[in-house]
């Protein structure tokens, strides 16, 4: 039974920072590629950042230089460090695990960037 549980969302002022966490269970975490996606009301779910089982990372252009994805294979957790936050970052952030043709999603955590 695979579970992905996001945490760390909340209300942040523009320019502020926050770290999201995604705790995984029920899978061999170290061999899965992980990612963060986000969805604003009325919009598609978009890629934010990914990190492979080999620690290769990639980022959406909109967050490049501001966000950092990382993983801890001992704690079975993937993180998203978000700096210099903008109102446009406001969305529900979802954790994703993918390997071969299998994909799992968490239920999301809300980030609101507002003054």
Q: Are 22 and 4 in contact (CB under 8 A)?
A: yes
22, 32 Cβ separation under 8 angstroms: no
- Tokens, residue 110: 């809300």
CA 85 to each of CA 16, 37, 101, 108: distance values in angstroms, whole numbers, following the listed order: 5, 16, 33, 18
**Mean pLDDT across the stretch 47-53?**
98
For residue 113, what pLDDT band results from cuts at 50, 70 and 90? very high
pLDDT tens by residue, 61-80: 999 999 999 999 999 999 99
Per the prediction, the chain carries an average pLDDT of 98
> Which pLDDT tens digit goes with each residue over 20-47?
999 999 999 999 999 999 999 999 999 9
DSSP string, 49-95: EEE-TT--EEE-TTTTTTEEEEEETTTTEEEEEE-S--GGG-EEEEE
Please report, rounded to a whole number, the percentage of residues in the chain having pLDDT higher than 90: 100
List phi, psi (to 5°) of 31: -100, 0
DSSP symbol at 45: -
């Amino acid at each position: 039974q695979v579970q992905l549980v996001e945490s760390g969302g909340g209300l942040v002022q523009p320019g502020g920072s926050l770290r999201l966490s995604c705790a995984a269970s029920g899978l061999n975490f170290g061999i899965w590629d992980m990612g963060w996606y986000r969805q604003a009301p009325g919009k598609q779910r978009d890629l934010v950042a990914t990190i492979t089982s080999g620690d290769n990372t990639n980022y959406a252009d909109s967050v490049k230089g501001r966000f950092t994805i990382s993983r801890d294979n001992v704690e079975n957790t993937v993180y998203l460090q978000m700096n210099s936050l903008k109102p446009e970052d406001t969305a529900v952030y979802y954790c994703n695990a993918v390997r071969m043709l299998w994909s799992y999603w968490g239920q999301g955590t809300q980030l609101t960037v507002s003054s």
